[in-house]
Structure formats: C-alpha cells, structure tokens
Amino acid sequence: MAKVEHILYGERKVYTVSAFNRGIGMHLGRLPTIWVEGEVTELRHNRAWANVFLTLKDPKTGATLAVTIARRIYDRLELGLDEGESVQVAGRAELFEQKAELAFRATTIERIGLGGHLLALEQLKRALAREGLFAADRKRRLPRVPRAVGILTGADAAARGDLVSTIAARFPATKVVLVETRVQGKGAAAAIVAALAGLAGHPEVDVIVLSRGGGSFEDLLPFSDEAVVRAVAASPVPVVSAVGHEQDTPLCDLAADVRAATPTAAATLVVPSLLETEAALTATRRRLELAVQAQLERTRSRLDRQRERLRSAPRLLLERRRASLDHAGARLQALSPLATLGRGYAIVRSGAEAVREAAVLKTGDTLDIQLASGSVDARVEEIRP
Amino acid sequence: MSADRSFEELQRELEEIVTRLERGDVPVDEAIGLFRRGEELYAACVERLQGAELRVEELTPEDPRT
C-alpha cells in the first residue's frame, strides 16, 4: 500500500485530504473480520450494480451502519431479505476514501431467527451423540490406496476441481467416481442420501468424500439433516467430510470417519503420495531380495558342511577300525604265555599235559620243560607234594 | 493373476511374503517360490503406478423425488 505522505510547513506536518483519508482507510483495513447484528433498512440492489447496499439499524438506539456486499455473494446466499428483518453480518470496516464515508464490507449475511434451527440442531446433536453415532471407536481407518474414490459434490466447480486435481497430482493411478447432486435448499438432504447410497454401492469405491464449498448456515443445513448424518454414519465405506469452511461444523462432520478442513486436505487424506508409495515399494523389494539371498546363503553353507562330513566319513571309519585292531592286538599280546616265559617262568609238561600239582608225578617220570627260548627234557628225582 | 485385486491387497501380500522370508524358517524350495511370487507382486504394483492416469466416472443417482 502506498505510504501516506505529508507536507512540511516549517515544523508543521500537513496532510492532503486524500492522504488523510487513505491513512484512515489503511487503519480501518487492519481491523479484523467481525459479526454485527441489526435490522435491515434501505435495501438497494440493481442488476447493473456490482454491489448491494443496505443500512443496518440498531433497534434500541437507532444508530445506523452502511453495509456493502458484493452482488455475486448476495445472490448466492438466496436470502430474499426484506427491510425490517434482523440479520447478522460478517465483514470488516471499509472507508470510501473519496468521501471519507465509512461502510461495512460484508462477506456473508445470516438471518436472525435461526435460533430455532440452532436449538433443533443442538438437540439432534445431543441425541445422536447419546446413540454413539459420533463415538471415536466408530471411526474407521481410511484405505491406504483406494481402488476408487467416490466424490459427492454440489455444482461447486472450485471445490470439485481442487479435489480432483489434487488427487491426480498426488496419485494418478486413481479412479474417481463423481456424483453431482443438489446440496442446498429443498430436497437436498434426500438427494445427498441417494447420492451417498449410489457411491457406497459402486463396486470399486473404497472411500467417499463429501465435498461442498462454504455457504451460509442455512446453506449447510442439509449436511446436518438427521437422514444425511445417519447415512454418513451407516455408510459401509469410510467417509471423509469436507463440508463448508474451517469454522463450520455440520453434524455430518461429526459422523464422518475423518473431517477435512478443505477439499485439498481431503484429497491428501484419501490417496497416498505416489513418490512415497514408490519408495516404499522399492524398499520392500530390496528386503525381498535380501531375505531370499540370506535364505539361500544359509542353505548353501549347510550343504557345504554336509559335503565335508560326507567326504571325511570313510577315512574316519578306517581310523576307527585300525584303532580297535591295535587295541585287540595289545590285549592278545598281554594274554600270550610266551610273554610270561620272557619274565623267567617255564611250562612243565608230562606227556601232553601241563603239570600243575607235584602229586600227579612219580619218581622217574620224564618232563618236558619249555623256556622262553628252547626246551629241556628232565627226569623226576624226588617228589614233595 | 491380480487384475481384480486392489493395489493395497497386492502390496499387503508382498509385505507378508517379505516378512515370512525374513523370519528365515521357510524351506528353500518354498522360499524360491515365495520370492518369485514377490517379484510378480512387485511388478504388478509398479505397473499399476506407472503410466496410469486419473480416470473419472460420472455417476447419476436416481433422483429420490421421482
């Protein structure tokens, strides 16, 4: 914004009228958006004008405020306002700089008298909450990669465009099933319920997005209609609610599995990012390869060990045989009488029999005495039994 | 093999195969079979992702007033 210039006359700062008005206008422009309520007087609109003008009057004090609203917005609200009606107007202060005239630039108008609606809505909300329709444990996880995304939308091209283009950019391999339906006014609730059923009955639709741009409280009422809220809660397919703006909370938001603040946010919720999905797939394939390689490696080394054992088996067998043979030889050696003879003993035989007792012999018998080396013949001279 | 199954189902089966193989208690013949199956699933997943364009189908529900 242009800086507000002043002129210096010596020490005195002086502003031109335009500069002053612009400065005040800039100040006002910094004020926040607020709601103002009053009675409508002097409602002026004309097909040829870009704006609709009305005056708001405080019924108690008679204080007035000029209100301007873009005709495009006013027409879309379909309020059919009459002078004398009570309204709440959202907007911010604005200065018509040429004349330093203050006006209130409205972004939306709501008729007061919605009190009845609000009360009914609050009661419905409590009743449905008591039934458990909004309970956290009813919320379902959204599919990571839906076969098809069902989109329920009004004739609002912007919201639908945002949704579809974000889905296409994020995850092109998606199918979108679109239902355009009446979303406000008479018959909207029934139309929404029918459209929801159509989407849920589609064989490929794995998730449904309810999409509707911003609108007045009344415009959004069908999305708080009991039949719609129940249909959302009972949907066999998870539902993402992207209805109205951030500050709106139609009851279908509470019944839906997930609430999204904008159509773009809804798109981000219902499809994954292509890049992330591809990266995850590549990582999974790497694990697949590593796992099968590790398995083959284990099998191969077990095979190697088995072959080693197989090869060494005959040699082991021979060694074991030889060892047992050696052992048997040693034992045989130990039992041999020849070894005893080597230590100085002798075998005495009479005839073929070895002699164990002196009493079996008679004087004069012939003995055969075997030594470790050689043998001797001898005769018995005396017996001492 | 997988034309009528969702991408998510294919991806889940692939993940299950990898997890089984990683446990390392699968007989080797079966492991090789699983690996082949995993490769097929991976290829099917990639095929789904690549070259695909957003398809839009318009549904006209029956108007409940008629």
Half-sphere exposure at residue A141, Cβ-oriented, CA atoms within 13 angstroms:
3
B contacts of A199 (beta carbons < 8 Å): 59
Cα–Cα distances (Å) from A319 to A184, A312, A328, in that order, read 98, 11, 14
Residue A358: DSSP 8-state = G
Q: Give the pTM.
A: 0.55
Please judge whether B49 and A179 are an interchain contact, meaning their C-beta atoms are less than 8 angstroms apart. no
Q: Mark out the alpha helices in A30-154 (DSSP H runs).
A: 71-77, 115-131
Q: For the stretch A249-262, what's the b/e string if a residue is b when 16 or more beta carbons lie within 10 angstroms of its beta carbon?
A: bbbbbbbbbbbbeb
Pairs from A235-239 (Cβ < 8 Å, separation ≥ 24)? A235/A196, A235/A200, A235/A208, A236/A200, A237/A150, A237/A199, A237/A200, A237/A205, A237/A206, A237/A207, A237/A208, A238/A140, A238/A141, A238/A142, A238/A143, A238/A206, A238/A207, A238/A208, A239/A196, A239/A207, A239/A208, A239/A209, A239/A210
* Contact present, A136 and A195 (Cβ < 8 Å): no
B contacts of A187 (beta carbons < 8 Å): 64-65
Nearest CA-CA distance, residue A239 and chain B, Å:
17
* Contact present, A280 and A247 (Cβ < 8 Å): no
B contacts of A173 (beta carbons < 8 Å): 7, 48-49, 52
Cβ-Cβ pairs closer than 8 A, A with B, add up to 121
Rounded to whole angstroms, the Cα distance separating B21 from A97 reads 76
List the one residue out of A138, A144, A260, A133 whose CA is nearest residue A206: A144
pLDDT the model gives residue A64 = 93
ipTM > 0.90? no
* Contact present, A151 and A178 (Cβ < 8 Å): yes
Say if B35 is an interface residue toward chain A (CB within 8 Å). yes
pLDDT the model gives residue A192 = 95
Which of A276, A295, A306 is the best residue to mutate to test the B interface, defined by the most B CB atoms within 10 Å of its own CB?
A: A295
Parallel/antiparallel/unpaired status of strands A205-212 and A239-243: parallel
Report helix, strand and coil shares of chain A as percent, to nearest 5.
45, 25, 30
* Contact present, A148 and A177 (Cβ < 8 Å): yes
Order of strands, sheet of A239-243, starting from the edge strand that comes earlier in the sequence? A258-259, A239-243, A205-212, A148-153, A175-180, B55-59
DSSP-derived 3-state class of residue B23:
helix
Helices (H) and strands (E) counted in chain A, each on its own, are 11, 16
pLDDT the model gives residue B66 = 42
pLDDT the model gives residue A330 = 82
Please judge whether B61 and A198 are an interchain contact, meaning their C-beta atoms are less than 8 angstroms apart. yes
What are the φ/ψ torsions at residue A108 (nearest 5 degrees)?
-160, 155
* Contact present, B44 and B36 (Cβ < 8 Å): no
**Under 8 Å CB-to-CB from A243, ≥6 apart: which residues?**
A210, A211, A212, A220, A223, A250, A252, A253
Q: Mark out the alpha helices in chain B (DSSP H runs).
A: 7-23, 28-49
pLDDT the model gives residue A351 = 84
What are the φ/ψ torsions at residue A149 (nearest 5 degrees)?
-100, 125
Name the more confident of A247 and B27: B27
Nearest CA in chain A to B11: A281
pLDDT in tens, chain A (385 residues): 457 788 888 889 899 999 999 999 999 888 899 999 888 988 898 888 999 999 999 888 989 999 999 999 998 887 778 777 788 999 999 998 889 899 999 999 988 765 667 777 888 999 999 999 999 999 999 988 888 999 999 887 788 888 999 999 888 888 999 999 998 877 899 999 999 999 999 999 999 999 988 887 778 889 999 999 999 999 999 999 999 877 778 999 999 999 998 889 999 999 998 888 889 999 999 999 999 998 889 889 999 998 988 888 888 888 888 888 888 888 887 777 777 788 888 888 988 888 888 888 888 889 999 888 888 999 998 888 8
Say if B47 is an interface residue toward chain A (CB within 8 Å). no
